[in-house]
Structure 1
C-alpha cells in the first residue's frame, strides 16, 4: 500500500500519515489536501525519514483528498525550510507556511472579475461616492481591494457598480509577465565594476554555490555591477531573486532595472493585492517570473530554476524578522544559495561586522569597489559640537548647519537633514501637572504627529486625537511637545528659511511605491530644496543636486542599551552621508553631536571605517559577542502580568548549567508591555562551540505553560527591547 507522511500547516500538530488513493501521484514536495477530523487542511508530502513520528497502522490511514495543481516544492527548498526551523528554533510548519503564502495560487489556473471606473457618473452623487471616484482614478481591482484603496465600504462601491460607474473587467489571473531582455541596454562600467561583474558572472555560469560580499562605497555603482550577473542568469534561462530592505526603495530600483532590461521585474511584498500575489507566486513556481524583487519573505518562494540571489543593503536591520519565525534574511539567503548550489551576492557600503568576519576567514569572497563611479568624490565630513554651538531656545539646528542650508539654497542645490525619529515630538506632556501621554497597550509614549493631528504609538499602531484639555488635571492649552521629530525639524527649517521648499520623507509619507516615485520625481525636478527624513532616506536614492547632508542628532542611536548600537550608528550615518555629492558637485556632511570624541563619531569624521571596525571587532571579541560568540533571547509574554512573570521564573529556574554559556534574567523587557501583552526576557550568551539550539529545545521542550502564555525564541537577536 502507498502511504506518505505529510507536514500539515498547523504548528500545533506533528507530522501525519495518509494513504495515497490509486491514480494519485504524491511525491515529496507535493502540496496536497488532507482530511483532518471533519475539515480539509493543506499539507506537504515530506520524506518520512526526515519527519520522525509514530507509525500509524495501515488500516487507520485516511486517504488524501487531492493533489494541488502546482509543481512540488523542490528538495532544495525543503532542506532550507528544515534548516531555518532548526536554526531559529521555529516550528517546521510555520516556516513551510511562508513558502505557500498565496492560498489562491494553490488552486490552479483561474480567471476573475475586477472593476475600474467607466467614466460615467451616478444619478445621485454623495460625498462618499465622490471621494471614491476621485480615489479610484486609474485603479483596477476587486471590489474589496478598491474599497480599501478608496477608504469606503464595499456597499458604496456596489452601488457604483449598479449605476455603471464601475465596470467589470475579466482578468486572466495567470497572464504572463513581459520578458526582460539581458542585452536591452549595455552599461558603461568602470574597470573596477567590470572586474567585479566578471567574478559574479563567472559564478553564475559555473552554477555553483559561491557567497560574495560586494563591499563598495556609496555611489560606487554596486547596483550596475550586480545587474551583469543578473543578465547572465537571464541568458541561461535561470531565475533571479533580489532582496531589498524597504518597500519605499523599490520604485527607484525599478526605474534603474527597467532602463537596463527593458521591463519591470516581478514584485513581491506585503502591499501587493491578493490577485497580484497569486499571479506572482504561480509565475515564480512555474518559472515564468525571471527576476523577482522583494522583501525578505520572497526568500521562501518556490522558484522553479533559481540561478542567483542578491541581497542589497545587506547590513540592514529590517532583514531580521522580529515576530513569527524570527529569521535573518541575509543569513537565510546564503543558506538558500547553499542548498540551490548558486551564487549569492551581499551588497553593502557598510557591511555587518558578521559579514566582514566571514569574508576575513574566507567563507565569503570579498569584492571591493573603493571609489565612486564617474570620478565623483566622497563628501567632506565635519562635526558640530553641540556643547559649543548650542542651538537657540526651542531650536535643534545649530547656526553652522542653518548657514550651510542657506548657502545651498542660494546655489540652487539641495540639502538633506537626517533624524531617525518620526512625527513631531517623541513625548507630549502637560506643563501644569506633568501628565505624559502613554499608549494603553504598550509601555511607550505616544508620539505627536502634527501633519495628521494625532498621537500615535509606533509599536502597536494605537492612535488618538490630541485632547483640548489635559486628561489628568483638565487644564486647557497646556500640552507641550518635548524633543524633536522630523516634522518639528521641518517646521524649524521653514521658520528660519521661509523660501525653502521642505519635504518630510518617512514611512508615513512614503508608504507605497507610488508615493516614493512621486517623491523621487519632485526631487529630481528641483521642486524640493530640503528633505527632512528618517533612515528611509539613508539608502537607495541618487540625487545629483543634493550636496549637503546634516545629521541632526548623531548621538540618538547610541542610547538605549542596544548591543550593536555603535555599529548601527556608524552604518546609518555613513549611509546618509553617502547621499551627498554623488554627481559632479562636491558634497559636504555636517554631524551634530554632543560627543565628538566618541569612537564611532570620530571614525565617521575621519573616514576611518577600517579603524572603527577593528575597534568594534576587538570589543565584540572581548565580550564573546557575535561573530565570536552566540546570542539568543527567550521572550515570555501574556495578557496577565502575573502569568508572564511566573512562566518566566519557571523557565529561569529550569535553566541548564553549561560552562560555556551564560544565562541572564528573567527580567522585565525594556518594552515590558507590547500590544497588550506583558513581556519578560532571558538573554543567553554562549561560545560558538556550544550546540545552542539543541540546548534550547531540550530546556524549553520539557516545560508546559498555561494557554495564555507565549514563549518565543530569538536566535541572533537584533532587538533587545
Structure 2
C-alpha cells in the first residue's frame, strides 16, 4: 500500500493523508481529487517531510478518487510556493491556488460553444438588442461573457440567437497558438543597446540564475534590448514570462511584440474570458512546442503559473507599486520574480527608468548586475524641465493652469504639436460639499469622500466602488443646485482646457475612460494619427507610450503625491513625475516639461529640476537608513478588521498587549488605520520595525499563533508593506 500527503486547497483544513489505489500513478506535484466526508476536494501531492501533519494509521486512510490529466507542479514551483507562504506569512493553500489559474483546464482538452454576430439585423429591434449589436462587433464568447460585455441580460442574447443575429460556434479549447519567429524583424540597435542585448542572450544561453537591473532613461530602448533575450529563449525552446504592472499597458506592448516577432504573445490577466484563461493555462503547461505558450505577458498573477520550461523572466516598469498585492496573499511580484528565477536557475531582468531604491541598493551590493542606458535611442534628447512656483505664477481664481503652462499649451496648439497634462486624481473634484450648510458627501463604507464624476453624473468612492447619482439638492438641508466642487480632478482640468482653447481636441485618460484593451488601442491609434491635441490623464499615461508628436508635459500638482506621510512618498513622486516627463520629446522634436508646485525647494522637486537622480537616491537612502526603513531595515504591518468597531479595537489591543519585547525590534500601535473604515470594516494597525538580521516572520507567526479571535475578526499580515492606509 502507498500513502501520500496532500496540500488541500482550503487553508482551514491543513495537510491530509490518503491512500493511492492500485493502478493510479502519482508523484510530488500531481493534482488529484480526494474524498472529504461527502464532498470531493482538489489537492496537490506534496513531499511528506516538507509538510508536517498528524499521522493517521494506514487502516484509516481513504483512497484517492482521481489523478487529473495535467503535468505535476515541478519542484522549483513547489519551492516557490513554500518560500512565498513563509516570507509573506500566508497560507500554503492560498499561494498554491494561484498556480491553478483555471480549474476548468485541469480536466483536459475539450470543446466549448461560443457565440458571434452573423451580420443579420433582427426584425424586432428593441433598444436592448440594439445596444448588444453595437457592443459585440468582433466579440466572441459564451452568452454570459457577451452579456457582461454588452451590459444586457442573457435573455436578450438568447432572443438574438433565436432571431438569427447570433450564431453558435464550436471552439477547441486547446487550439494551438501561432509560433513566434525570433528572426522576424531583427532591430538595428545602438552600440549600448547591443552590448546589453548580448549580455541577455549569453545569460539565457548559459541557463543559470543571473539577476539584471536594466536601468535606462525613458526612450532609451530597454524593450528592444530585452526582446533579444526573449528571441534567444524562443530559439532554444524555452518559455519567457514578461510581467507588466498594469493591464492597460498590455495593448501597447502587444503591438511592439507582434512587430518584432510576427505574432502576439499569450496573455494572462484578470480580464480574460474563462475560455481564454483555460486555453492559455493549458498552453503554458504544454510548453513552447506544438502550439504551446512561448511568451506569456501578464499581470502579477502570471508569476505562479506552472510553466513547462521557463528560460527567462522580465519585469517591466519594475519600480511600479502595482506589483505589490494588497489583499489575499500580500506579495511583491518584483521580488518573488527574482526568487522564482533563482529556484528555476534562469536569468531575470528588472527593467525601469526609475528603479526602486531597494533594487538600486542590491545593484550597489553586487547582488544584481546593473546595465545602464544613459541616452535616448536615435539621438532623441531628454526634455528640458522647468519648475513653476505656484506661489509666484498663480493661476486665475478657480483655475489650475499657471500662466507659463497656458502659454506653453498655446504654443503647441499653434505648432500642431501634442501636449499631456498629468494629474493623478480621477474624476472632476475630490470633494463635493453644499455651499449652504457645508454638508460633505462621504462614503458610507469607507473613511473617504465621494469623488464627483461629471462625465458619468455620479459620486463614487475609489476604495470600495460605492456610487450614487449626483443629487439635484443637498440631502442635509434640501437646498437645490447648491453643490460646490473643491479641488481639481482630471475632468476639471479638461474643462479648463476646453474653456481656454475651444478648438483643442481633448482626450481624458483614466481607468474610468480606458477600461478595456479595445478602448486603449483606440486611444493610441487616435493620438498617433494626430487626432488629439491635448491629453489629460492620470498615472495611466505615465509609462509605456511613445507619441513622437508629444512635446509638452505639464504636471498640474507635483505636491499631491507627497501628502500623507507615506514612507515611500518622495520616491514614488520622483518616479511618477520622471516617468510622465519621459513622454515628452521622444521623436525628433525637442520636449519640454513644466512642473507646477508650491514647494520648489522640496528635495524631490529639486532633483527633478536638476536632473540629478543619483543625488536624490543618495539622500533618500540616507533618510531610510536613519529611520531603519527598507532596504536597511524591515517593516511588517498587522491589520485587524471587523464590521464591529469595538470588536476590531479589542482584538488589536489583545495583539498589542502581548507584543514581543526583543532587542532590534519595535512594535508601534495599535492605532486606527488612516483609512479607519474600508468596505464596511473597521480597521486597526500595528507596525513592526526591525533590523535586517531579525527573523520578523517567525516572530509574528509565534506571536499571533497563540491568540484566538471572534469569527468576525480578520487579522492580516503585510510584510514589506507599500500601502499605509
In the alignment, which of 370, 375, 379 is matched to residue 375 of structure 1? 379
Unpaired runs of 5+ in structure 1?
A: none
Which residue of structure 2 aligns with residue 136 of structure 1? 136
Pairwise CA distance, 1:512: 1.4
What is the CA-CA distance between 1:124 and the residue it aligns to? 2.2
Match of 2:47 in 1: 47
Match of 2:171 in 1: 171
CA distance in 2, matches of 1:46, 1:657: 36
- Residue 314 of structure 1 is matched in structure 2 by 318
The equivalences for 1:270-419 within 5 A come to: 270-287=270-287, 288-419=292-423
Task: Note the C-alpha offset of 1:465.
Answer: 0.3
Deviations 1:57-108 (A, max 9, x none): 1011011110111110000000000000000000000000000121111110
User: Counterparts of 2:228 and 2:659 in 1: how far apart (Å)?
Assistant: 51
- Decide which of 568, 587, 600 is 1:583's aligned counterpart: 587
Q: Distance in 1 between matches of 2:548 and 2:56?
A: 68
Q: Secondary structure at the match of 1:35?
A: strand
* Superposition deviation, residue 122 in structure 1: 2.6
The answer for the alignment partner of 2:220 in structure 1 is 220
Q: What corresponds to 2:193 in structure 1?
A: 193
| Secondary structure of 1:141's aligned partner | coil
Query: Could you tell me which residue of structure 2 aligns to residue 64 of structure 1?
Result: 64
Shift of 1:336: 0.5
Residues of 2 paired with 1:162 and 1:21: CA distance? 49
Distance 2:682 2:476 in 1: 25
Q: Which residue of 2 aligns with 1:113?
A: 113
Asked if 1:709 is matched to 2:713, the reply is yes
After superposing the two structures, state which structure 1 stretch, 508-517 or 534-543, moved more. Answer: 508-517
- Residues 135-156 of structure 1: CA distance to partner in whole angstroms, max 9, x if unpaired? 1122110011011011111111
- Cα distance in 1 between the residues matched to 2:19 and 2:231: 45
Aligned-residue offset at 1:704: 0.5
Alpha-carbon shift at residue 513 of structure 1 (Å): 1.3
Aligned to 1:259: 259
Q: In the alignment, does 2:501 pair up with 1:497?
A: yes
Q: Aligned partners of 1:663, 1:339: CA distance in 2, in Å?
A: 33
Query: What is aligned with 1:80?
Result: 80
Paired positions, count: 721
Other structure's SS at 2:276 match: helix
State the Cα deviation string for residues 263-295 of structure 1 (Å, max 9, x = none): 000000000000000000000011110000000
In the alignment, is residue 607 of structure 1 matched against residue 611 of structure 2? yes
463, 469, 474: which is aligned to 1:465?
A: 469
Structure 2 alignment gaps of length 5 or more? none
List aligned pairs for 1:82-97, cutoff 5 A: 82-97=82-97
Matched, 1:691 2:700: no
Q: What is the alpha-carbon distance in structure 1 between the residues aligned to residue 520 and residue 717 of structure 2?
A: 35
Shift of residue 121, structure 1, vs aligned partner = 2.8
Q: How far did 1:127 drift? A: 1.2
- For residues 596-630 of structure 1, the C-alpha deviation after alignment (integer angstroms, 9 at most, x for no partner) is 01111000000000000000001111110000000
The alpha-carbon deviation at position 160 of structure 1 amounts to: 1.4
The one-character-per-residue Cα deviations of 1:407-434 (angstroms, maximum 9, x if unpaired) are 0001110000010000000000000000
Residue 55 of structure 2: SS of its match in structure 1? coil
Indicate the residue corresponding to 1:564 in structure 2: 568
Residues 148-183 of structure 1: CA distance to partner in whole angstroms, max 9, x if unpaired?
011111111111112222111000001000100000
Mapped to 2, the partners of 1:565 and 1:137 lie a distance apart of 43
Mapped partners of 2:318, 2:123: distance in 1: 55
CA distance in 2, matches of 1:574, 1:127: 47
Distance 2:177 2:92 in 1: 32
Q: How does 1:639-718 map to 2 (within 5 A)?
A: 639-718=643-722
Q: CA deviation at 1:120?
A: 2.1
> So what's the TM-score if we normalise by structure 2?
0.99
- Whole-Å separation in 2 of the counterparts to 1:552 and 1:72: 52
SS of 2:667's equivalent in the other structure is strand
Report the equivalent of 1:488. Answer: 492
User: How far, CA to CA, are the matches of 1:423 and 1:135 in structure 2?
Assistant: 25
TM-score (norm 1): 1.00
Give, in whole Å, the separation in 2 of the partners of 1:26 and 1:614: 54
Shift of 1:228: 0.2
Tell me if 1:243 matches 2:243. yes
CA distance in 2, matches of 1:487, 1:626: 37
Distance 2:11 2:393 in 1: 57
How many Å separate the matches in 1 of 2:160 and 2:516? 26
SS at match of 2:284: helix
The 2-side partners of 1:135 and 1:420 are apart by: 30
State the Cα distance separating 1:525 from its structure 2 match. Answer: 0.4
SS in 1 for 2:593: strand
Question: Who is 1:35 aligned against?
Answer: 35
